[in-house]
């Protein structure tokens, strides 16, 4: 940076122009900005940028530059001041980047606002009333669902603007074949309203206030401190993915497990929540004995009720127990579905399992799909998972003893470390889907 005072601005400009002309191809300065003080117009500052300090020195050593410095001295009131300025911050707001960031923010604002409408639409059966894919007016839809036409009309407008229902040229609305699957087929792995219910339940305002306190004071936030709607939502959100892959893909990828279960083996499903995974295994392997454990008693009550309702109560047991103290066994298979990372002491839980496996028995960990490196996880799926993990999984683990807080995007390496600490000699990625990584652990 050069700071100088002159009453001969034109003369200085000519000197600079001449220097630019004669140093063409030699100078190392790549950008110069000159400004003058509004309140003292004879006072100038010039910032000359160089690729590096060494290049700046090379530029100063040019004979033309030395000559310029002498001429400048004569054209100025006193000797110019030269400062070797090291750049510590250099920020330019890029208009294009700004526009695309704001576009993303706008999309997200819409997503936040659409979430409760999605839950309402599902609960009131508005989507299912459109499941035939035929065009319908807001008047017909309100009549079909026993709702107020004006409210339904606005709901339809919001869904059409989201791309979640289709607006026909005659002003009626319908679901395309894809929208029909995603918004009405409750057993499809593509079914979306359950996800909106889950993420809305994670972010309920009561939860947010408790979570905020946990951020400040530490100590996490226990699973049981969430609003009751969270527990069935989690079960609903995961169950279709398990139904699609568990019996046909994940269990067959494990060493000898299917044979054992077909021949009356035993399964412990740890952290089973409301028990969908336990019941799916009980249904697929009628001879097997399946027990679901969870430390959250209200979830176990719901699991028992669901087993009763689906006629599986005689073949499946549900018990309230923690991951490091569940009983029974020995088991041929011990499973953890999307829950090891929620536990305060995953090493303690896996050590407990090791002692409760039959000879050749297997622990199956179903964990959310994630790379080890955060930089590889910066995409929409991980974004949703990190958000849920920030609100539920990490605080739940922190609220328990040890508080390892693996997080829902722990990745394979950190999961392998936990298994090794628990004494498992064998750890293998047995299967994977876009949503999950499936690990096989054996002693």
Ligand X SMILES: C[S@@+](CC[C@H](N)C(=O)[O-])C[C@H]1O[C@@H](n2cnc3c(N)ncnc32)[C@H](O)[C@@H]1O
- Give the interface with ligand X as residue ranges (CB under 6 A): 223, 234-235, 238, 271-273, 276-277, 294-296, 299, 322-323, 337-339, 342-343, 396, 400
- How many residues can be counted in the chain? 443
Which residue, 127 or 238, has its beta carbon nearer to ligand X? 238
Q: Which is nearer to ligand X, 273 or 407 (CB)?
A: 273
Give CA separation, 214 vs 221, 228, 396, 399, 427, in Å: 6, 19, 11, 9, 34
User: Strand 40-49 vs strand 31-37: parallel, antiparallel, or unpaired?
Assistant: antiparallel
Whichever of 272 and 281 has its CB closer to ligand X, that residue is 272
Q: Which residues contact 60 (CB under 8 A, 6 or more apart)?
A: 66
CB 388 within 8 A of CB 368: no
Q: Which residue is nearest to ligand X (CB)?
A: 273
Of residues 332 and 342, the one with the C-beta less far from ligand X: 342
In the complex, minimum distance from the CB of residue 239 to ligand X, in angstroms, rounded to a whole number: 7
Give the nearest distance from C-beta 322 to ligand X in angstroms. Answer: 4
Place of tokens 């911050």: 89
Name every residue whose Cβ is closer than 8 Å to that of residue 223 and which is 6 or more positions away in sequence.
Answer: 295, 296, 342, 392, 396, 399
Residue closer to ligand X by CB (options 273, 411) is 273
Minimum CB separation from ligand X for residue 371, in Å? 20
CB nearer to ligand X: give 80 or 273. Answer: 273
CB of 330 to ligand X, least distance (A): 19
DSSP, collapsed to helix, strand or coil, labels residue 438 as strand
Complex with ligand X: residue 80 or 235, whichever CB lies closer: 235
Q: Of 277, 309, 308, 302, whose CA–CA distance to 291 is shortest?
A: 277
The DSSP annotation for 148-195 comes to -HHHHHHHHHHHHHHTSSEE-TTS-EE--HHHHHHHH-TTSTT--HHH
Q: How far is CA 368 from the centre of its chain?
A: 10
Asked whether the beta carbons of 439 and 255 are under 8 A apart, the reply is: no
Q: Which of 339, 422 has the CB closer to ligand X?
A: 339
How much is the CA Rg of the chain, to the nearest whole Å? 33
Min CB(397)–ligand X separation in Å = 7
Taking the complex as a whole, how short is the minimal distance between the CB of residue 125 and ligand X, in angstroms?
25
In whole angstroms, give the CA distance from residue 37 to residue 272: 71
User: What is the phi/psi pair of residue 405, to 5°?
Assistant: 50, 60
Shortest distance in whole angstroms from residue 236 CB to ligand X: 9
Q: How far is the CB of 325 from ligand X (least distance, A)?
A: 8
Indicate the residue among 322 and 361 with the shorter CB distance to ligand X. Answer: 322
- Evaluate the omega torsion of the peptide bond into residue 27 and state whether it is cis, within 30 degrees of 0: no
**Minimum CB distance to ligand X, residue 242 (Å):** 7
């Amino acid at each position: 940076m050069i700071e100088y005072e002159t009453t001969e601005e034109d003369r200085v400009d000519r000197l600079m122009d001449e220097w630019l002309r004669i140093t063409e191809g030699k100078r190392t300065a790549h950008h110069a900005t000159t400004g003058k003080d509004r309140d003292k117009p004879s006072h100038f500052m010039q910032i000359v940028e160089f690729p590096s300090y060494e290049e700046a020195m090379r530029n100063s050593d040019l004979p033309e530059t030395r000559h310029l410095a002498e001429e400048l001295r004569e054209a100025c009131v006193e000797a110019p001041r030269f400062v070797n300025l090291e750049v510590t911050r250099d920020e330019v707001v890029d208009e294009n980047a700004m526009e695309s960031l704001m576009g993303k923010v706008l999309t997200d604002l819409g997503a936040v606002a659409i979430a409760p409408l999605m839950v309402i639409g599902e609960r009131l059966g508005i989507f299912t009333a459109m499941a035939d894919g035929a065009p319908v007016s807001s008047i017909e839809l309100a009549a079909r669902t026993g709702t107020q036409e004006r409210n339904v009309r606005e709901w339809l407008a919001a869904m059409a603007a989201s791309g979640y229902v289709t607006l026909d040229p005659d002003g009626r609305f319908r679901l395309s074949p894809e929208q029909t699957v995603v918004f009405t087929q409750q057993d499809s792995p593509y079914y979306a309203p359950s996800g909106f219910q889950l993420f809305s339940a994670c972010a309920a305002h009561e939860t947010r206030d408790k979570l905020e306190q946990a951020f400040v004071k530490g100590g996490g936030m226990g699973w049981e401190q969430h609003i009751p709607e969270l527990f069935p939502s989690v079960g609903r959100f995961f169950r279709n993915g398990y139904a699609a892959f568990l019996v046909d893909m994940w269990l067959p990828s494990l060493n000898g497990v299917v044979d054992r279960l077909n021949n009356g083996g035993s399964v412990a499903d740890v952290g089973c929540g409301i028990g969908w995974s336990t019941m799916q295994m009980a249904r697929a392997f009628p001879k097997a004995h399946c027990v679901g454990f969870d430390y959250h008693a209200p979830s176990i009550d719901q699991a028992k009720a669901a087993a009763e309702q689906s006629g599986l109560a005689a073949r499946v047991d549900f018990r309230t127990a923690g991951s490091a103290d569940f009983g029974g066994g020995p088991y041929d298979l011990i499973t953890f579905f999307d829950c090891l990372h929620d536990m305060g002491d995953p090493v303690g839980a896996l050590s407990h399992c090791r002692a409760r496996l039959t000879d050749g028995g297997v622990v199956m960990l179903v964990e959310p799909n994630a790379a080890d490196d955060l930089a590889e996880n910066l995409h929409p799926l991980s974004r949703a998972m990190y958000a849920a993990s920030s609100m539920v999984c990490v605080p739940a683990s922190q609220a328990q003893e040890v508080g390892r807080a693996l997080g829902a995007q722990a990745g394979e390496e950190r999961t392998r470390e936990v298994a090794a600490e628990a004494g498992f000699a064998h750890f293998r990625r047995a299967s994977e889907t876009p949503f999950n990584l499936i690990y096989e652990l054996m002693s």
